Amino acid sequence: MDKEKKRESLRFLLAAANKIYGEQKLMEMLIEQGAPSRDNLDELANDEGFRFTHFTTALKESVDFVGQLEIRLSELCIIAENLEFGNPKIIRKWLSDECKPCIVEHVIEGYDEVYRIMIELDDRLMWSGWPLIGKLHDPMK
């Protein structure tokens, strides 16, 4: 990954994590995991010493994040099993791992399994005909 794509990805991750934790808490979590100490997230995103591993480690150490991830993966499995698509068995295997922080790494390494289920859900739920209904209701808008 070239430098600019890496910076862009790190900025995206920082923005998403900021929505979950808030800037102050996120900065504390990342610094605790060895990220450079900066005044704000923008400065951190531009720091050459800031790495993806700081994120991974911080998320693995967050009991709240891991708990939410477990809940959401379980729900995703239930939906995929009921609708009979994707490969929820792999995700169930991740969830059965005794090492709860390892779930973060399982999802990172096997994200394509989660992504396939999400795409299938999107295809089934977000029907391309929905905008037509809105146009029929109020065609002047």
**Structural contact between residues 88 and 81, judged by C-beta atoms closer than 8 angstroms:** yes
Residues 63-96 pLDDT 10s: 999 999 999 999 999 999 999 999 999 999 999 9
**Structural contact between residues 60 and 66, judged by C-beta atoms closer than 8 angstroms:** yes
Number of independent structural domains in the chain = 2
How many angstroms separate the CA atoms of 47 and 72, rounded? 32
Residues 47-72 pLDDT 10s: 999 999 998 999 999 999 999 999 99
Tell whether 68 and 57 lie within a shared domain. no
Residue 32: which of 62, 10, 9 has the closest Cα?
62
Provide the residue range defining the domain that includes 93. 63-125
Residue 61: which of 31, 29, 37, 14 has the closest Cα?
29
Is there a domain that residue 131 lies in?
no
Is there a domain that residue 133 lies in?
no
Residues 10-61 pLDDT 10s: 888 899 999 999 999 999 999 999 999 999 999 998 899 999 999 899 999 9
Q: Give the domain-ending residue among 44, 61, 78.
A: 61
Helix, strand, coil abundance in the chain, percent, nearest 5: 75, 0, 25
HEC readout, 5-56? HHHHHHHHHHHHHHHHHCHHHHHHHHHHCCCCCCCCHHHHHHCCCCCHHHHH
Q: Give the domain-ending residue among 25, 45, 61.
A: 61
Tokens at residue 23, please?
């800037």
